[in-house]
Structures are given as C-alpha cells and as structure tokens.
Chains A and B, each alone.
Chain A
C-alpha cells in the first residue's frame, strides 16, 4: 500500500524529470553543450506560471502557449550566445555562459520574488484517490503531459527529417554539414528545444511545487544523473532513466529520509563511474 503510493508519486515526479532530462540530453548530444542553466529555466517556468496566476488569474495551463513563445525566443538568444562564446573561448566559454545564466536567473528570481518559498495554492482541480491517498489532479496532468511531451520529442527525433538532421549533427557535425544539414541551425534548434521543454515543465509543475529561486540547481543535478544513466544523447534512455530516478527518489524519501533525495543523483553517478570509469564523455 505505502509502496504503491510511493511508486505512483515517484512515477509522476519521474515523468517531469524525464522531460527535463530529455532536453538536457538533446543539447548535450547535438549541441555538445552542457547547459548549466538548464535547470534554471525550469525555475523560470515555475515562476512564470506562478506570476501569471497570482497577477492575472490565468491558469497555468493557459500560460503554456505564451510560455512556449517566450521560451522559444529566450532559447534562441541563449543558443546564439553559447555559439558565439563557444567559438571564441572554447568549451570553457560555454561552461561560463551556462554558469553566468544560472547565476543571473537565480539572482533575478530572488530580486523579483524574494528568497521566501512560494506555493500556488489557488489552482486546485480536484484529486484522485490512489492506494488510499489523494493525488492532486494537477500533478497527474503534469506527469502525463511531461511523459507525452518527452515521448513526442523522442518520436520527433527518430522519425522526422528534422530529427534525422539533429541526430546527424550529434553524430558528426562536419559530415552532417557535407550532407546539407545546416549545422549551426540544428545546434541552435537543439538548445532552443531543450529550453522550451524545461520552461514548459516548470509551468506545469508550478501548481504543486514549492517555489524557491535556486530550485533550478536541483533539477540540473537530477537531470544530469538521469542523462548519465540513460546515456548522453539518448532520448529514450533519458525517459526511462527519468522514471527510474523519480521512483528511486520517492522510495528513498519514503523509507529512509527526505535528505536522501539529494544524495541519489550523487550515488547514481558514483555508481556509474565505478562500473564504467572514464566513460562519461559527451
């Protein structure tokens, strides 16, 4: 019974994690960029959903469409900066851009929304009884939405022409370029897609999550653990590993103690390094 509750909650959390990690793995694989600010965009999405509801009483679900446009524009701009700095300063340049974005987003969120944790209590669309506990419908919707979007992304990358271009760029940018793939566009598209996906995930989970400015770092770390587990650039792996990490987190928090959720990513990565040392390469 208790196990069932934890399992369901873990799967729902895991679906969101899958979505965030799918974006992260995409940008690692195609753009060869480890976007340090990836998790921070989840936080931006969350505060966007929060602000839209508190200020204008717009449901987070209606915020999704404007958020999509917003994150697409931001994403393209960010990709441009990554590209430009990466060309001039190399890999460390990209790392610095990511860190700078992360700090900037954290700082601005703290400036506008203060450090105090916030919750969005108004959005309540009922709950469903599962294994004797009531799960918020918002959480279920977010889980299904995230799972569907992550799955859709996977299908898109593996069946469409655009997806093939992205995979070709991930495989070998030079050769892909020779075959007519516009590599710079593909790389920017990957960064933009990942940021859109992170932002939308943030909007979806806003109704049932405690919002703090630096929550993005938590998502970054979990997403990285998921990506390592699922294989870099592997979207299917990211979806499955995301569900797995979500369940492990939930079980660890339920049976051990809540601080174990912070340790699971570390344990996963250390375990991976023990089994396959030196293989965590992009």
Chain B
C-alpha cells in the first residue's frame, strides 16, 4: 500500500505540485497589500505570455517575438466586444483565443517557413510585432493610439469582470497559469509532444518517420497564439483599458521574452518562476531608485544579461541539465533515454552511452538523438514513463 502510494506520488508529482501551487496562489495573496497584489498581477500576466513563448520555443525552437501581439488581441477582443455588444469578458476568454489563432495563421505561415534558423525568425516576427502598432492606430473603432477604455455599467455584476480588488485578478490569472502549465505537461507526454521533439531534433528524420512536419509546426504556432490571448483579456480588464502602449509599446514588447528566456523553455514552470523573480526584483529596484521610470527596463535588461552570461538556457534549462546529469548515477538511465530507445528493449545496455552533459544518446534512435545545443531542453521531460 505504501509502495503504491509512493508510485502514485511519483507518477503524478507534477500535478500534485501544480495543485499545491494553485492553493498557495489562491489563498496566500489575501495577506498582500494593494501594491503587492498589483506586482503579483503583473508577474502572473507576464508568466502566461511567457508560457506562450516558451511553448513555441521549447517545442520547436521557433523564436517568435510576435507573442505580445496575440496578448494584445485578447485585450482588444475583450474590451471591444464588451463596449459594443455587452459580451461578458468571461466569454471573451474563449472567443479571444479563436481570433488570435485566426490572426496567427498568416504570421505562422511566414514564421514557420522562413528557414535560416532562430535569428531570422526572431527578426521577422519582431518586424510583424512592430508593424501592429501603426495598424492598430489606423483602425478607428479600436480607439487609435489612446486605445479603448472599458465602459462602466451602472450596476457592476460578476459577468462584467470589473473587480475592485486585485485579489480576484490574481486568482483568475493563477488558475489560467496552472491550467496552461498542466496543458503543456500533458502535451509533452502526449504523442504530439514526442512528434515535436522529433521534429526539433531532426526535421528530416521526423519527416521520414511519417510525421506531418509542416502541419504540426503550424498547429503549435496557433496553439501558442491561443495561449497568449487570455492573458490579454484579464490584463485589459484589470486596467479597464486596452491600448497599443500597454501590450506592444517600447519595452513592453521585450519583457515577455525576457521573462520567458530567464525562466527557460525546458520546463513548463519556467516562465512562472522567471516572472515572479524578475517582476519582484524590478519592483524592489524601482522602490530603491525612488520610482525612476527607467528602473524597470534597466532591471529587465540587467537580469537578462546576467542570464545570458551564466545560464544561457534559463533557470529551468539549467535545472533540466542538473537533473539529467544526476539521473544516470541513481540508476534511472531509463527515463533519460528517449522513448524510441527504451522500446528497443536494450535500454539498460545503452545507459553507458548516456553522456553526462544532458542525456544525449549516441545509439541509433532517430528521435532521441539530441543536438548539442538542444539536449538539455529535449530529453528528460519529453519521455513517456515506461
């Protein structure tokens, strides 16, 4: 019985940790001050954007700087529909991802087919993101450069999602964060997760194995856009405002990428950790500097620089490396080896070939041969327990 309980815990440890996290995020913030709550809202908002970026980058290595655009889509959908047609923002939580996916389709077609690696994708998506602001300003019903303020109904009901306290927004954002992390954890273990891991390692081998390469890349891009949109809905309701500046202005564009990369794309919880860390540090620095408006961008940049120099794969990437390094010593080589090798029945024999660096397997399995630069991000988390 005891053994079964231990097994249950170890196979569902991710889900248990997530539930614990949700409970903490649900109850603990009621002790926070108003300022603390607004910091937490910001952190949880960025964390969702970060999940959107990391899901795309971690699954396929597509480095998209256009994710803030899809967050903005959420904000505009929610406030526009509410002001015009009285649609509840709760409903917009479901409508916005659909609109985001539709708008993401042309972006995805460009970004996934450009070739030439992460740098060119990053440049092209940056251009797309920068072009959205003038387009938004040109569309008059969307309020131009000022944006749209949410109308205040005479009697505010729950359906209007206009709460006086930041606490409710923290709770909504916490639920979305946990749901998305859980989704990504499920995705990694599903066959789609294995397909994307195979594509990331070697597109040619994946194609030869019968994986619909192009279609899957496109789908992942659209899903990532859908993950971004709800963050915009909630953040726009929190501010009762949606504007190009909130979501796409100057530094705002890069903050989500900073958080996502500092957290690392190797684990679904990466961006949440990155967001809580950076937003907290930025808040402290801002307080110390007497609310100098430059404190925030400088802090974000500083943390990013430190991260590039010390942990280029982000916090969760380094974590994944450490775990992968320790695993063979504990005799758990099985879980460090890709699914394909494990199924061949000679997994134990291969454990000697698992390099200490991060579980790169030199056996002949196509799906588990990770390239030097992606190893830590791919191997351990994306294996099915055998």
Contact = CB atoms under 8 A, between A and B. Distances in A.
Interface of A: 34, 36, 85, 88-100, 102-104, 106-108, 110-111, 114-115, 213-214, 217-218, 220-221, 224-225, 257, 259-260, 262-263, 265-266, 269-270, 273, 277-282
Contact of A263 (B113, B118, B134, B373): B134
Nearest to B135: A263
Given A103-B304, A224-B123, A280-B116, A111 B292 contact: yes
B115 interface: yes
Contacts of A259: 134, 137-138
Given A36-B122, A95-B122, A282-B120, A103 B373 contact: no
Contacts of B251: 103, 106-107, 214
B298 A266 contact: no
B6 interface: no
A269 B304 contact: no
A97 B308 contact: yes
Interface stretch (B124-132, B169-177, B327-335): B124-132
B29 interface: no
Contacts of B277: none
Contacts of A110: 293-294, 297-298
A213 B293 CA distance: 13
A90 to B, nearest CB: 4
Interface of B: 61, 63, 110, 113-120, 122-124, 126-128, 130-131, 133-135, 137-138, 250-251, 254, 257-258, 261, 292-295, 297-302, 304-305, 307-309, 312-313, 372-373
B119 A34 contact: yes
B interface secondary structure, majority: helix
Given A106-B301, A214-B251, A281 B312 contact: no
Given A103-B300, A115-B250, 19 more contacts: A34-B122, A85-B309, A90-B373, A92-B118, A93-B312, A93-B373, A96-B261, A99-B304, A103-B251, A103-B301, A221-B126, A224-B127, A225-B127, A259-B138, A260-B134, A262-B130, A273-B114, A280-B116, A282-B117
Which of A36, A95, A225 neighbours the largest number of chain B CB atoms within 10 Å of its CB? A95
A277 B128 CA distance: 17
Given A99-B304, A281-B120, A107 B127 contact: no
B137 A221 contact: no
B146 to A, nearest CB: 15
Given A91-B118, A106-B297, A282-B120, A221 B63 contact: no
B231 to A, nearest CB: 21
B297 A96 contact: no
Contacts of B299: 107
Nearest to B109: A273
Nearest to A268: B127
A282 B305 contact: no
Given A89-B312, A100-B308, A114 B293 contact: yes
A266 B304 CA distance: 27
A277 B109 CA distance: 11
Contacts, number: 144
Nearest to B119: A34
Contacts of B300: 103, 107
5 contacts: A34-B119, A94-B119, A95-B122, A98-B119, A100-B305
A114 B297 CA distance: 11
Contacts of B257: 99
Contacts of A262: 130-131, 133-134
B308 A85 contact: yes
Contacts of B298: 107-108, 110-111
A89 B128 CA distance: 27
- 5 cross-chain pairs, A with B, having the tightest CB-CB distances, nearest first: A259-B134, A90-B373, A103-B301, A281-B116, A111-B294
A100 B122 contact: no
B119 A95 contact: yes
Contact of B114 (A90, A100, A280): A280
Contacts of B127: 221, 224-225, 265-266, 269
A79 to B, nearest CB: 15
A257 B138 CA distance: 10
Nearest to B254: A103
B301 A104 contact: yes
Given A107-B297, A269-B124, A280 B115 contact: yes
Contacts of A213: 250
Contacts of B134: 259-260, 262-263
A82 to B, nearest CB: 11
A177 to B, nearest CB: 21
B110 A273 contact: yes
Contacts of A111: 292, 294-295, 297-298
B114 A278 contact: yes
A104 B305 contact: yes
A90 B305 CA distance: 17
A103 B126 CA distance: 14
Given A100-B308, A266-B131, A278-B113, A107 B301 contact: yes
A198 to B, nearest CB: 16
A48 to B, nearest CB: 18
B254 A99 contact: yes
Which of B116, B258, B300 neighbours the largest number of chain A CB atoms within 10 Å of its CB? B116
Given A96-B312, A214-B250, A266 B120 contact: no
A279 B115 CA distance: 8
Nearest to A281: B116
B109 to A, nearest CB: 9
